[in-house]
Each structure stands twice: as structure tokens, then as C-alpha cells.
């Protein structure tokens, strides 16, 4: 007697860390409307970037825009606040064709004027990414972006 057994093994891609770099020298444009809580963007071209951000002059110098031929941009912002707020991208991980971005706010002292919390990072472009998923510190999805080529 011959007994055959067939079964399927579901595998989940183990996340791999992705290196990223802070991008300074840009602020949100005045016409960008923010929702409550964390607002997230995965930006894949200069037109999208320029709709959201404007450079801040330092003397006669302007910061260099990201190189979208070789980079993606991830950004996290929150509404204006009177409390010192740092938006932290804790880690970026690649799991299969999904880029997972884990972020959280860190709060400090009360300020005398409003601040506009914003964090922008760049990372090397990865050609096979199909979606970007942003998570808060409770590991709950904040926003998902599907990448269409």
C-alpha cells in the first residue's frame, strides 16, 4: 500500500533591515493639509516631492533635492503643536515586495510657539517593491501605499 501526502507550506518573508538617511532642509508647504495623528508619505518622484515640501535657505544655499532615479523618500508629519515633538522612524524593513516603515512620535517640553513636526528620510530605490506600509509604535497600520510602475 502506497500512501501519499501532499501539503502546502505557507512562508512569510522574514523582514530585512533597510538603511536610510535623514534628509534635512525641507519643510511642508503651507497648502498641505494634515489629518490628526501621524501623516505618512512614500514619495517616488520629484513632482510628488515638490508638491509636499519646499527647501529652507541656509544663507545663500538651498538643500539638494533627493535623486529619484536612485532613491525613494519616506516622510512623516503631524499637525502643528505647542509641544516639542520629534517624529522618529525607528526602522525600515523589506519583507518580500513590501517595505515596512515603523515610526513614532517622541514628546518633550511645552513650547512658547508652535512647531511643525516633520521627518524626511531617503533610501536606495529597490526595483521590486510593490507597497509601502507605515506602522505606529503599537504596530498598527497607519497608511499603505501601493506602488504602480
pLDDT in tens, 24-76: 999 999 999 999 999 999 999 999 999 999 999 888 888 999 999 999 999 99
Q: What is the DSSP letter of 45?
A: S
Distance in angstroms (rounded) separating the CA atoms of residues 100 and 17: 9
Could you tell me the three cell numbers for 82?
505647542
Quote the pTM value. Answer: 0.87
pLDDT of 13-37, one tens digit each? 688 999 999 999 999 999 999 999 9
Closest listed residue to residue 100, CA positions, set 69, 121, 70, 129: 129
Q: Which residue do the cell numbers 534635512 mark?
A: 24
Q: What is the DSSP letter of 148?
A: -
Amino acid at each position: 500500500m502506497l500512501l501519499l501526502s501532499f501539503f502546502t507550506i505557507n512562508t512569510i518573508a522574514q523582514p530585512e533591515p533597510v538603511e536610510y538617511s535623514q534628509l534635512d532642509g525641507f519643510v511642508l508647504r503651507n497648502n498641505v493639509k494634515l489629518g490628526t495623528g501621524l501623516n505618512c508619505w512614500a514619495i517616488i518622484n520629484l513632482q510628488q516631492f515638490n508638491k509636499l515640501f519646499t527647501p529652507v535657505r541656509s544663507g545663500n544655499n538651498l538643500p539638494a533635492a533627493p535623486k529619484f532615479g536612485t532613491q525613494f523618500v519616506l516622510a512623516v508629519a503631524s499637525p502643528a503643536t505647542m509641544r516639542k515633538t520629534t517624529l522618529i522612524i525607528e526602522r525600515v524593513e523589506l519583507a518580500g515586495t513590501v517595505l515596512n516603515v515603523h515610526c513614532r512620535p517622541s514628546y518633550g517640553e511645552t513650547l512658547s510657539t508652535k512647531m511643525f513636526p516633520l521627518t524626511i528620510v531617503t533610501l536606495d530605490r529597490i526595483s521590486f517593491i510593490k507597497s509601502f506600509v507605515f506602522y505606529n509604535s503599537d504596530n498598527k497600520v497607519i497608511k499603505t501605499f501601493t506602488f504602480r510602475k
